Amino acid sequence: MAKERGVLALGLVNTVGSTIARETDAGVYLHVGPEIGVASTKAFTGQVTILSMLALFLAKIRGTLSPEVLAARVAELKNMPDLVEKTLAQKDRIAKEVAAYRFANNFIFLGRGLNFPVALEGALKLKEISYIHAEGYPAAEMKHGPIALIDHFMPVVFIAPRNDHVYDKVVSNMEEVKARKGNMIVITNEDNHDLDRLAEIVFSVPACSEHVFPILASIPLQLLAYYVAKYRDCSIDQPRNLAKAVTVE
């Protein structure tokens, strides 16, 4: 439909020669390697990284970022492999900490701004491979419905980077959950211990800017989903009712 209306169509794809690669005008191959599981993880990370690079490229040609800021953002993206490796080093601790959550029937994932899509990703992965009902919401909308569901048996996952300009508002949301005896898991920066008093579990990512944090924060959430599904003896690579190829009419 976009091409019929003369709109430039770009494709961010992982498989060379795929339908999207053939049908689009131009695009980028992710080159993250073949993904065995139906629930995409590294392809998701690759796509978000490419979109970040595209945003920086547009900022460069439009002159909306100074050369110094642009160089710093690019350098941080180049350092992503090290940051990802440090984040993955927590996998054994995550596996141990989330064991009890295999008995949960529902999860809520909350984030603000850039981290709302991260909440959606965390909820999607959990529901896809563990078969636990999970919903991602903007943290700002917590009072508009989800707060009625909160009790000790409803795990609430917060994405709360310390250097985010809405951090104080996220902490306020967490305090409201705590007042209702909610059970919280928090993803934040490695040097932030302010939230230890509120959350049952705190997982951290290496120090980084607010622009890179969402990419790294998705990794503990994917590991959370993986280990909960493993404890529930679910088919992680081939979840029921899901297929790698989707036909849309």
Give how far Cα 187 sits from Cα of 83, 176, 216, 220, Å: 15, 17, 10, 8
**How much is the pLDDT for 84?**
94
Tokens of 59: 């900022």
pLDDT, block means (10 residues), the chain with 249 residues: 91 90 92 88 92 95 95 94 95 96 95 94 96 94 84 92 91 92 93 91 92 94 97 93 68
pLDDT at 246: 56
The fourth-level CATH superfamily of domain 3-84 is: Glucose-6-phosphate isomerase like protein; domain 1 (3.40.50.10490)
Superfamily of domain 87-231: Glucose-6-phosphate isomerase like protein; domain 1 (3.40.50.10490)
What pLDDT score was predicted for residue 202? 95
**Which pLDDT score is estimated for 241?**
84
Kindly state the tokens that stand for 20.
Answer: 């999207």
Structure confidence at residue 105 (pLDDT): 93
Give which of 113, 114, 109 is closest to 142, Cα–Cα: 109
Q: Distance between terminal CA atoms of the chain?
A: 13
Same fold across 3-84 and 87-231: yes
Domain ranges in the chain are 3-84, 87-231
- What are the DSSP calls for 19-60, one per residue? HHHHHSSEEEE-------SSS-SHHHHHHHHHHHHHHHHHHH
Q: Copy the structure tokens of residue 171.
A: 């902490």
pLDDT for 249 equals 55
* Residue 248, pLDDT score: 57
